[in-house]
A = this chain, B = another copy of it.
């Protein structure tokens, strides 16, 4: 009897790395977490990942065969199998393919976390059956993964899909990337907090948040205040969604997607962000695109979406190879 095939999905984050075994149907058979500890050399990390994932494989009870490894990480390059100056990690450059090759002679694919999220939605989530869609991850920053003609767009250098660093207002907020007016400085958890400050300054709107200093303010606090009816917090969400929607009209004009799917902490606020985004997007759309594009929340709420996405990444590569050789 042939063994059941599973893949290892890995999500490398600034503090912790999540990993798990994912089957072709999108079931997470087992997951675990370890410290990323990027102050130590990459070799140390990949050694521990090897040991920990072996243990996971032994522990699941079923007799499974590991068919490949998918890794999602910031600034990961699909074509080269490398990490290049990843934000929030101490490593400058990591040749993941070489590091993993020391342990497992297995198919490997890496890409950034938002691209992995897009593949997760395509294989297991809200984008099943779609050939043209965009996934936007609204967390600390704004990430994006773009699928057209049924394939993820990696671009000429493997680094396509940084909608968070397109310009909304040419003389707008300073972004940590050094540019002015990036979408990410408005539509993200940090962008929401910056908007709250702007409303403190520009309006007289009363708010319980006025007693919180900038350094202590979090998106969760703004969300809770908004749920409680705080008018300034509600306005901050409305503006965040509005700016997001304005800019999505540009993405639609490039790609004409069937849907734009949102995941990440800020997306959990649901219509508090998505409804003003819908309105602003429709207002800003070139007429031929109006009333066509769905804005929806992720459906990857079972299991770990980032691990599922990394699993989908390597499944997508395995199936493409299979299609080419059969």
Contacts and interface: CB of A to CB of B under 8 A. Distances in A.
Q: Among the interface residues A167, A177, A254, which one has the most CB atoms of the partner chain B within 10 A?
A: A254
Contact of A155 (B153, B157, B162, B257): B257
Q: Among the interface residues A151, A170, A258, which one has the most CB atoms of the partner chain B within 10 A?
A: A170
A179 B179 CA distance: 26
Given A151-B149, A286-B179, A251 B254 contact: yes
Contact of A148 (B155, B253, B258, B284): B155
Contacts of A287: 177-178
Contact of A286 (B162, B168, B258): B162
A295 interface: no
A84 interface: yes
A323 interface: no
A271 interface: no
A158 B289 CA distance: 10
Contacts of A255: 146, 153, 155, 160, 254
A102 interface: no
A75 B289 CA distance: 12
A289 B179 CA distance: 13
A179 B284 contact: yes
Interface string A177-214: 11100000000000000000000000000000000000
A202 to B, nearest CB: 17
Copies, count: 2
Contacts of A163: 253-254
**Interface class of chain A by DSSP:** loop
A132 B166 CA distance: 19
Interface in A120-177: 130-133, 146, 148-149, 151, 153-163, 165-170, 177
Contacts of A27: none
B253 A165 contact: yes
B159 A256 contact: yes
A171 to B, nearest CB: 10
A132 B155 contact: yes
A22 interface: no
A95 interface: no
A253 B162 contact: yes
A235 interface: no
Interface in A254-286: 254-258, 284, 286
A225 to B, nearest CB: 28
A292 interface: yes
Nearest to A251: B254
Q: Among the interface residues A155, A257, A286, which one has the most CB atoms of the partner chain B within 10 A?
A: A155
A28 interface: no
A276 to B, nearest CB: 15
A131 B159 contact: no
State the 4 A-B residue pairs at the shortest beta-carbon distance, nearest first.
Answer: A155-B256, A160-B256, A156-B258, A165-B286
Given A148-B160, A162-B286, A163-B254, 6 more contacts: A148-B148, A149-B154, A157-B288, A157-B289, A166-B253, A166-B254
